[in-house]
Structure 1
């Protein structure tokens, strides 16, 4: 190990690391040679590195995920993120296969924990999804249906047999989903909260009082999802990605965090596609009813989730003296926005501060 810098920038080290762990890639792997390593720029919460290699002469690509040097922006542990991917190896939804979590200091890049998963070829960007031109209607609806189909498969997956009851807080019943989500997030907040927040207390009180109880089932939920969060190829999702806000709860939770994948298309005064059609299509695929009322509720809960990660960043800035811009910006600008969103939940909205 002394011959290497033991960093992800050192291809020789990464090559030695992957050779050492080649059995994690496959029990029949005889040889592996790392060709290149590159840090990806998308994403803020953690570092993501892309790695190209030859595995028994065949080109393969991998992803390495780890926290920033000072930690993660979000409070979700790196080990939890890995366990989600590992549990999804056997799930009926397309995901990248988790390979191993590196907890041996001798092989940790920069002496920081990291995990490795396969890299799935594809693209996150759908150039037509936001284009309201009529010629894109069919492709936009098709992409929306594909996304809804994968959400349906996720929400109907047997989370118990997949082991997610050991990863996430389990609601006492479907009616407890919303309250369980809030309790679990407040428990995590208590681990690093460094100052009181009246707006959080008031907002949470309102959320608990209005928590929906007409929830049809407990499902494995993804969290952030939709455009920019999944990997696409040839009009299909080949990998669902970004599981940092995953949980066990109400399927409506995912619809509240869905990004751009329910385009509202109106032609000649008739709604061709929108939330009504999307939720009906999802119901046909999953057998699960999701109401707009529950979706609106979890959009309000997003204020609590936002408070968690902004306060988590703020705690690192305050306690550890972190000066990394991503942490400072999150702790300041995003924290302001989360406070406004929570304030809206109990009827207070400073003029000009509306957060949608």
Structure 2
């Protein structure tokens, strides 16, 4: 076992297999995509009395603080994944554990088993090779989301870590307190993102959301980044929901709104399936009895856009003000700027094309 980065990873993995006497790390390499965490895939060959076993694993590591977009915890993510795995049938991979001591790998990290299945969910659409599976896969995806939303919060969040995981002042004592404290968070941070006159649109978004609150629904644990890129599938079933770092207690319509928005941006059509059930929203309503409307979905598209706009634009602002010279934060302007016309469209500004 060497003393470099992979040697440190081997030592961490060895701690998850207490009967092992040696761990070899092979085929170590980065997984491209995503901005919030540094992700690597590798195999661990675990030597123990009687033989050896090869485990396919993933390392998720925090970026340096100057680069971080979301302040989230690998310990909290691990605890939630394991609570979901052990207490529900929602498909997740196993999280082996975490290392929060930054001196070991440079930043906090966690190790998970690699899930089986196809991560290229675009293969389910537009005459892709798995188009025959789309209704079955999306049906299972919807059923899994419903189970997550209807699992008792205390079962998945026994220590309250998901009440306000980003430590921004969210109060989940009731639905109204959750919504109002979220609006307070948006408005309190507006001064940190108001770097350009065009961003006054965000202020209108925050105030409009506060003024037009929909009817309440029971709070639940939400995935927080429920989108076409964050599940794997095989043989007509979802094999794993992945990337739980932004999970929290919230309104279940947040997951539906985020999927609706990302579905359009991803060139998929998850919300149109399962076709025999009338689409994702109709099937979700059948399973829950919530009778969520398209208008409510539109509200939570805007709500989710605001939720991510605050940390993203705060990071961009730090770069524009030369508090750092991170290329990533400058790069994010290309996704942030086009989002403004989309928000204006959701606000029904005149003259904004559909």
Q: TM-score range by the shorter chain?
A: 0.7 to 0.9
> SS in structure 1 opposite 2:337?
helix
Query: Structure 2 vs 1, CA of residues 77 and 50 (structure 1 numbering), >3 Å: closer, same or farther?
Result: same
Contact 2:37-2:61 within 8 A present in 1 as well? yes
- What pairs up with 1:1-356 in 2 under 5 angstroms? 4=3, 6-7=4-5, 11-15=6-10, 17-18=11-12, 22-23=14-15, 25-56=16-47, 57-69=52-64, 71-72=66-67, 74=69, 76-79=70-73, 81-91=74-84, 92=88, 93-108=90-105, 111-131=106-126, 139-163=133-157, 165-169=160-164, 170-186=171-187, 189=189, 193=193, 195=195, 197-215=199-217, 217-258=218-259, 259=263, 260=268, 262=270, 264=272, 273=275, 276-317=278-319, 318-324=321-327, 326-330=328-332, 332-344=333-345, 346-348=347-349
Contact 1:223-1:246 within 8 A present in 2 as well? yes
Q: Following the alignment from structure 1 to structure 2, what is the Cα–Cα distance between the partners of residues 348 and 284?
A: 34
> SS in structure 2 opposite 1:160?
helix
Deviates more, 1:94-103 or 1:37-46: 94-103
CA RMSD of aligned residues (A): 3.2
1:88: how far off?
Answer: 2.5
Query: Structure 2 vs 1, CA of residues 183 and 84 (structure 1 numbering), >3 Å: closer, same or farther?
Result: farther
> SS in structure 2 opposite 1:301?
helix
Q: Following the alignment from structure 1 to structure 2, what is the Cα–Cα distance between the partners of residues 320 and 202?
A: 27
Q: Following the alignment from structure 2 to structure 1, what is the Cα–Cα distance between the partners of residues 174 and 83?
A: 25
Residue of structure 1 equivalent to 2:167:
none
Query: Structure 2 vs 1, CA of residues 274 and 77 (structure 1 numbering), >3 Å: closer, same or farther?
Result: farther
Q: How many residues align?
A: 329
1:255: how far off?
Answer: 0.9
Q: Following the alignment from structure 2 to structure 1, what is the Cα–Cα distance between the partners of residues 192 and 122?
A: 40
1:84: how far off?
Answer: 2.7
Residue of structure 1 equivalent to 2:168:
none
In the superposition, the TM-score normalised over structure 2's length comes to 0.79
> SS in structure 1 opposite 2:203?
helix
Is there any run of 5+ residues in structure 1 with no aligned partner, and where? Answer: 266-271
Q: Following the alignment from structure 2 to structure 1, what is the Cα–Cα distance between the partners of residues 348 and 279?
A: 31
Query: Structure 2 vs 1, CA of residues 223 and 106 (structure 1 numbering), >3 Å: closer, same or farther?
Result: closer
> SS in structure 2 opposite 1:225?
coil
In the superposition, the TM-score normalised over structure 1's length comes to 0.79
Q: Following the alignment from structure 2 to structure 1, what is the Cα–Cα distance between the partners of residues 102 and 177?
A: 41
> SS in structure 2 opposite 1:64?
strand
Higher-helix-fraction structure: 2
Is there any run of 5+ residues in structure 2 with no aligned partner, and where? Answer: 165-170
Contact 1:22-1:29 within 8 A present in 2 as well? yes
